[in-house]
Every structure is written in structure tokens, then in C-alpha cells.
């Protein structure tokens, strides 16, 4: 039976959410046939354990501010409310139970491809979902043993596939935005206006006061 809906789930640290996240997704939303996008801020990303990030509250607030007037987007607290490291497989198991007849499509930037074989329970993830890969880097390589999973968007089923989204690349990163804020450089063009205000008002990403 074909899925009743295709739902995109966009996981990340979102520290902060920026134009690269939103515009890359926006460019492919219709072509992918998604009904909505669920932004899924991670409590702790498995590959960023021990890396300091802004609070879950701030990251959630910025994701909401950047998307709340666009009915295609929602922001989930599911990973933020889970105590442990945020594994995609656990999130997908929960979503699968909540929406048994939806196709779940986990969205990643192509900078994640090289690490994909290290994701926890990757085989199970492929039973639960497709991956939709956004173009981000000039050269990103898919590990060769996964290449048989690559399929055109129109030909994909409800799970098990890797689809390259073919969006225009948008060279924005959260790392660069945090660096710019800390250095007092212009950063406002890279984030939603409301996110820029939130960062300034809450003094995020500024170097620590030595006093």
C-alpha cells in the first residue's frame, strides 16, 4: 500500500538554525512531495558528545521563531525531552509507532554521508525510513557499499532508499555564524530576522566574560 503521506524529519543541533537549513529544504519541498517537515533538534548529537552547545531551550526557541509562520514546518521536542544521546533510530521507532502509515524521510546534508556507516542501527533505520540528502559540500562521497540504495525521488518507496535532493548549495554553517557573532562580525544575513534578534538579545555565542 502506498504511504498516506511523506513526512520529512530534519535532525540537527540547530545552534543556531540558519538560512542553509531552511532554504535548502524549501527548494525541494514540493518535488519531494512532503506534507510537512518536522524539525528535530537533538539533545545531544552522537558525533557531538562533549561539544558545548546552547541550551535545548534556546535552540528550540530559535527553530520555532524561524518557522512558526510557515505551516509546512513544525518543531518537535521529542529528542530534547529524551534524557540520553539522541539516536535517530530511537526517534524513528517512536515516530513509526505514532504514524504507522506515513513514509518517514530523514533529511541530512551531504556532509553527513561519510559517517553514515557509523550511525547506530543503520539497517534498522533503512527499514523505518528513507534518507533524503541535501547538497551542501562541493564534493561529498557516499560510502560505496551504500550506493545500491540510491534511487531517483520519483522511484522511491516508503523506506530503504537514499535520494539525492538536488537542491542548489547554500554555503552557510552554524559554526561560521557562531564565529561571526563572537568576533562582532555581521551575521544577520545568514539567519531569520527573528533569530538574529534572539541571538543578540540573549547574548548567545559571545566570548565568556573573564570577570
Q: Is residue 112 part of the contact set for ligand ATP (CB under 6 A)?
A: yes
Residue 4 vs 47, nearer CB to ligand ATP:
47
Instruction: Give SS3 for 176.
Output: helix
Binding-site string for ligand ATP from residue 5 to residue 44, where x marks contact by CB under 6 A and - marks none: -------xxxx----xx--x--------------------
User: Per rule CB under 6 A, is residue 73 in the interface with ligand ATP?
Assistant: no
Count, residues near ligand ATP per rule CB under 6 A: 18
Q: Exposed, middle or buried: residue 175 (CB in 10 Å: 0-12, 13-18, 19+)? A: exposed
Closest CA to 9 of 31, 42, 48, 44: 42
Among 65, 109, 162, 163, binds ligand ATP (CB under 6 A): 109
Of 111 and 197, which has the nearer Cβ to ligand ATP?
A: 111
CA distance 145 to 167: 24
Spatial separation of the C-alpha atoms in residues 173 and 130, rounded to whole Å: 24
Beta-ladder partners of 104: 7
Q: Give the contact letters, 123-162, x = binds to ligand ATP (CB under 6 A), - = no.
A: -----------x-x--------------------------
How buried is residue 89: exposed, middle or buried, by Cβ count under 10 Å (0-12/13-18/19+)? middle
Taking the C-alpha atoms of residue 26 and residue 13, their distance in angstroms, rounded to an integer, is 19
Q: Output 6 or 136, the one with its CB closest to ligand ATP.
A: 136
Which residue lies nearer to ligand ATP by CB, 4 or 117?
117
Nearest one of 190, 152, 142 to 170, comparing CA atoms: 190
Q: How far is the CB of 204 from ligand ATP (least distance, A)?
A: 13
In the bound state with ligand ATP, the residue whose beta carbon lies nearer, of 24 and 104, is 24
Binding residues for ligand ATP (CB under 6 A): 12-15, 20-21, 24, 108-109, 111-112, 134, 136, 170, 172-175
Amino acid at each position: 500500500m502506498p504511504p498516506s503521506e511523506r513526512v520529512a524529519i530534519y535532525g540537527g543541533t540547530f545552534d543556531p538554525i540558519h538560512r542553509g537549513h531552511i532554504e535548502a529544504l524549501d527548494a525541494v519541498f514540493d518535488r519531494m512531495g512532503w506534507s510537512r517537515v518536522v524539525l528535530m533538534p537533538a539533545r545531544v548529537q552522537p558525533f557531538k558528545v562533549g561539544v558545548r552547545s546552547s541550551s535545548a531551550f534556546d535552540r528550540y526557541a530559535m527553530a520555532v521563531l524561524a518557522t512558526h509562520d510557515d505551516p509546512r514546518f513544525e518543531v518537535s521536542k521529542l529528542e530534547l525531552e529524551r534524557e540520553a544521546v539522541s539516536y535517530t533510530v530511537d526517534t524513528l521507532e517512536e515516530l513509526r509507532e505514532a504514524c504507522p502509515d506515513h513514509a518517514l524521510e530523514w533529511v541530512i546534508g551531504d556532509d553527513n554521508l561519510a559517517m553514515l556507516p557509523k550511525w547506530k542501527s543503520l539497517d534498522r533505520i533503512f527499514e523505518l525510513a528513507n534518507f533524503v540528502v541535501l547538497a551542501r559540500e562541493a564534493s561529498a562521497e557516499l560510502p560505496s557499499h551504500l550506493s545500491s540504495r540510491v534511487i531517483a525521488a520519483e522511484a522511491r518507496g516508503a523506506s530503504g532508499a537514499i535520494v539525492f535532493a538536488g537542491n542548489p548549495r547554500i554555503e552557510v554553517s552554524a559554526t561560521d555564524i557562531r564565529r561571526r557573532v563572537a568576533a562582532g562580525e555581521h551575521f544577520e544575513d545568514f539567519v531569520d530576522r527573528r533569530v538574529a534578534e534572539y541571538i543578540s538579545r540573549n547574548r548567545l555565542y559571545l566570548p565568556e566574560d573573564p570577570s
